Amino acid sequence: MKNKLLAFLTGKRNIRVQMIWASFLSFWLAFIVAATVPIKDIPFFPYQLMIFIAGFFFTFFFLTRKTIRYLLTLGDGLTVISQGNLHYRIPMLREDELGKIAENINAMAEKLESQIEKERQAEKSKMELITGVSHDLRTPLTSIIGYMDLLKDKAYQDEAEYERFVGNAYNKAIQLKMLIDELFEYTRLTSNEVKLKLERIDLRELLSQMIVEFEPLAKENEVSLETGLIPQSLFLVIDPEQIRRAIDNLLMNALKFTVKPGFISIGLTILRDGSRTAKARITIENKGIPITKVQEERLFERFYKADDSRSNPTSSSGSGLGLSITRSIIELHGGEIYFNHSAGQFYFGMELPLQSNF
């Protein structure tokens, strides 16, 4: 309290008080100087008045020089920022109103810089999206055109080769449709066009059903399933189809990159942290070929695919959108998804609030 009062009285945080003190000191110093100057034969009043006025202005300018200098610094800073140098920051040398102005100017420059950076990232992201779409759609489309040309020119030796060409073209067409569907779904999810169809669902029952359906495919790929689900029912208000898709994406990703023969561990637990809202946590863990730190950081980026050597040679290449779609779905439900990796051990976790407020 004393420090605040002292700061106010000295004018450290108030420019008005500074001006009052400058005027007061200038007046008395000019008065003392004018009163002590010898008069001699010059008329007293005009001579003393001129000295007083000159002394007052000189002293006032001297006492306020730092304030004027800082005002010029503010003006120069605004000029630099207005010319496009948003990295520039005005030095914070005062605690009064001018210091607040400098703080606000710096905050404005930082916000503008952040906004421009976001726009650059959005433009870059848009170009990456176009590049990714072009590449991923062109590959199956080129194969389809190639097989169609062979069929059109009847460049097949027998009925078996004809059937093989038709089958390959059909598979590529299905792959192309899947890519387009995933791209459409991702665009809807990220543009907030999706309206969740919320229902009160037993998440444990949903996950158990998905594990039963997933087991034959896992067995076919020499992968065993290890489950650790809570024994009781766990009801959440969610969109069951969207959550099913998010979980399925993680399961298929784990199946694709698990070293064969291997295992996938699936868990469901409840997190309680004091007074915070409880969460349901789904975990999927598998053992695969280690990836780099760069691959870890980019794993949830759209169209990003890890090294193809990690994948099962018999499995088809994905679109690179699965994990991005999963993250969007979980975030739409007010939850979060995270990933840990250590020496080839992959751990995905998704958390959903038990009491949703989205």
Q: What is the CATH number of the domain that holds 282?
A: 3.30.565.10
Do 242 and 153 share a domain, yes or no? no
Do 16 and 150 share a domain, yes or no? no
Over 50: is that where the pLDDT of 229 sits? yes
What are the pLDDT digits (tens) for 154-207?
888 888 888 988 998 998 898 888 778 777 777 777 666 677 888 999 999 999
Which tokens in the block code for residue 134? Answer: 């072009």
Do 220 and 343 share a domain, yes or no? yes
Q: What is the pLDDT of residue 17?
A: 80
Quick one: pLDDT band at residue 82, thresholds 50, 70, 90? confident
Pick from 159, 141, 139, 162: nearest CA to 151: 162
- For the entire predicted model, the pTM comes to 0.55
What is the three-class DSSP state of 175?
helix
Do 249 and 341 share a domain, yes or no? yes
Winning range, highest mean pLDDT, from 7-21, 231-245, 288-302? 231-245
Give domain status of residue 137, yes or no.
yes
Q: How far is CA 358 from the centre of its chain?
A: 19
Distances (CA, A) of 182 to 175, 186, 243, 331, 333: 11, 6, 15, 18, 19
Q: What is the pLDDT of residue 45?
A: 59
CATH number at residue 183: 1.10.287.130
User: By residue range, what is the domain housing residue 166?
Assistant: 127-190
Give domain status of residue 255, yes or no.
yes
Q: What is the pLDDT of residue 322?
A: 75
Over 50: is that where the pLDDT of 284 sits? yes
Among 167-171, 262-266, 315-319, the minimum mean pLDDT is found in 315-319
Describe the chain by its helix, strand, coil percentages, rounded to 5: 60, 15, 25
Do 164 and 212 share a domain, yes or no? no
Over 90: is that where the pLDDT of 266 sits? yes
**Cis ω on the peptide bond leading into residue 38 (within 30° of 0)?**
no
Over the chain, what is the mean pLDDT?
A: 81
Q: Specify the DSSP class assigned to residue 11.
A: T
Q: What is the pLDDT of residue 302?
A: 55
